């Protein structure tokens, strides 16, 4: 056994001892059971409203942490909204697009001044545009799942990150968002796997390490623009019929 493995086993053994656990006490089975039926934590009252309440709360919380939220009436209006945002911020009209068929299918030809490229982010890309798997109203947080249509580099390398979020994908709390991910992506038990990476993004990157002064863009994008699509709830299998 390598020295690294020995140190790891020693650390894990110490943790088990502090937690009052012993080898062979059913630990793996306990972990598997917890993953299969995850416990739900306390849910804030503000996250328990209906769909309209969730959308309003998400917008409020996202804007509170310096994200820009632009409401658009349909997915077809996203290219124009993206162009307007870039113009309003005096940003380059050069967008690195996630290789997502939904995003590619939008009417980008209506905005000929936008230069589009597709794929993982490059150091020179000033702006990225991705989708979002879900969002959490209680904190104004985006949930982005990695995969072929969502390279994680797009979330962090460009200074400006634009995210297309469908209103129907706004969950009230974190537990609901994780339930949605498990329901859509599945688990190892049923032959599917969750994404390798799930990024929770709340506002643009920030730090207060220097003299306790907030600086945006320290560890990622300095601008986060959420293009919130007010789409129909009718085809969302995880929304109660009464909310559609």
**Mean per-residue pLDDT pooled into runs of 10, the chain (244 residues):** 76 81 67 75 88 95 95 96 97 97 96 97 96 97 95 96 97 94 70 81 74 60 94 46 38
pLDDT at res. 103: 96
Indicate the helix (H) or strand (E) that contains 94.
strand 94-97
pLDDT at res. 8: 86
Q: Which DSSP symbol is given to 12?
A: H
**Could you tell me which residues are beta bridge partners of residue 141?**
136
pLDDT at res. 94: 97
**What ranges do the domains of the chain cover?**
1-37, 44-243
Phi, psi of 154 (to 5 degrees): -65, -20
pLDDT at res. 219: 66
Sheet strand arrangement including 141-145: 170-171, 134-136, 141-145, 198-201
Alpha carbon distances (Å) from 213 to 205, 206, 208, 210, 223: 14, 10, 5, 6, 17
Q: What would the CATH number be for the domain defined by 44-243? A: 3.40.50.10420
pLDDT at res. 33: 75
Q: Which DSSP symbol is given to 138?
A: T
pLDDT at res. 3: 74
> Does residue 51 sit in helix, strand or coil?
helix
pLDDT at res. 238: 37
Task: Determine contact, residues 170/135, Cβ cutoff 8 Å.
Answer: yes
pLDDT at res. 44: 86
b/e per residue, 60-84, with b = 16+ CB within 10 A?
ebbeeeebbbbebeebebbbebbbe
pLDDT at res. 240: 43
């Amino acid at each position: 056994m390598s020295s690294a493995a020995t140190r790891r086993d020693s650390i894990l053994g110490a943790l088990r001892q502090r937690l009052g656990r012993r080898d062979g006490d059913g630990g793996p089975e306990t972990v598997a059971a917890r993953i299969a039926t995850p416990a739900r934590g306390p849910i804030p009252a503000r996250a328990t409203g209906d769909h309209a309440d969730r959308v309003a709360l998400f917008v409020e919380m996202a804007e509170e942490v310096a994200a820009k939220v632009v409401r658009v009436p349909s997915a077809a209006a996203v290219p124009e909204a993206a162009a307007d945002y870039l113009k309003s911020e005096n940003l380059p009209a050069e967008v690195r697009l996630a290789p997502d068929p939904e995003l590619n299918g939008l009417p980008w030809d209506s905005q000929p001044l936008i230069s589009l490229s597709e794929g993982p982010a490059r150091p020179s890309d000033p702006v990225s545009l991705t989708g979002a798997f879900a969002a959490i109203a209680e904190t104004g947080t985006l949930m982005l799942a990695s995969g072929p249509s969502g390279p994680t580099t797009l979330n962090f390398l460009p200074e400006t990150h634009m995210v297309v979020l469908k209103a129907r994908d706004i969950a009230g709390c974190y537990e609901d968002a994780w339930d949605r991910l498990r329901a859509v992506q599945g688990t190892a038990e049923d032959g599917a796997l969750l994404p390798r990476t799930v990024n929770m993004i709340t506002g643009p990157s920030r730090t207060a390490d220097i003299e306790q002064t907030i600086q945006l863009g320290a560890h990622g994008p300095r601008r986060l623009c959420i293009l919130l699509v007010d789409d129909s709830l009718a085809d969302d299998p995880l929304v109660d019929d009464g909310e559609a």
